[in-house]
Structure 1
Amino acid sequence: MTKRIDQADVAHIAQLARLSLSDGELREYEDTLSRILDVIEVMNSEDLSEYPPMDHPLETVNLLRDDVVQPGIDRDVVLGMAPSAEEDYFRVPRILGAQ
């Protein structure tokens, strides 16, 4: 494992993320980020030319149902089920500007 990132890099990243890290945390994240970069290097070294690019690991098709117009509930019926209605609207308690 080679060090790909040092404490100054970690401190800079932490500062960009608005994080306050102790010296111990800086050392811990230095090791962790270096290991992550090592794994990425291994992944990048693999020859994947025989595999086509994919946007999803599973073959999918449009999973949505057809958009079919269906009749709705009559407005008068819905307003009749409301606890309180006024003209063609639901009446609700005032919440903005209430004292």
Structure 2
Amino acid sequence: MEVDKESLAKVAHLARLNIKPEQEEKLQKDMTEILTWVDKLKELDTDGVAPLTHMTNEVNALRSDIAKKTINTDAGLKNAPDHDDQFFKVPNVMKRNA
């Protein structure tokens, strides 16, 4: 399949891409090569091959989501450069309108 300027412009619009004129020729060539490769996949015999939803049969081994206290406040603040009894202190990053 040959990608023309009109098709390239339509794809660029849908993808919200700003393509410079000097890039058009290379992109047309690249997209044509990609579509030619994808078209070659039609030659494969896929009769009897079940569609995949995942690449492997692996199942995620997730831990239980149980809330528990893992570190106390003193240990958490121990290496902080500046803190009070409960919180980290950080420089003010927002300016107030006067």
Does the pair score TM above 0.5?
yes
- 1:9-88, aligned counterparts within 5 Å? 9-10=7-8, 12-13=9-10, 16=13, 17-22=17-22, 25-79=23-77, 81=78, 82-88=80-86
**Identity within the alignment, %:** 21
Question: What residue is the counterpart of 1:90 in the other structure?
Answer: 88
Q: Which has the larger radius of gyration?
A: 1
Instruction: Give the unaligned 5+ runs of structure 2.
Output: none
SS in 2 for 1:95: coil
Q: TM-score, normalised by structure 2?
A: 0.62
Question: Stretches of 4+ moved more than 6 A in 1?
Answer: none
Instruction: Give the unaligned 5+ runs of structure 1.
Output: none
Letter in 1 for 2:61: L
Distance 2:6 2:53 in 1: 36
* 1:44-85 C-alpha deviation (Å, 9 max, x unpaired): 343323122213322211133343554322224434x14433
Contact 1:14 1:20 in 2 (8 A): no
Q: Count matched residues.
A: 92
Q: TM-score, normalised by structure 1?
A: 0.62
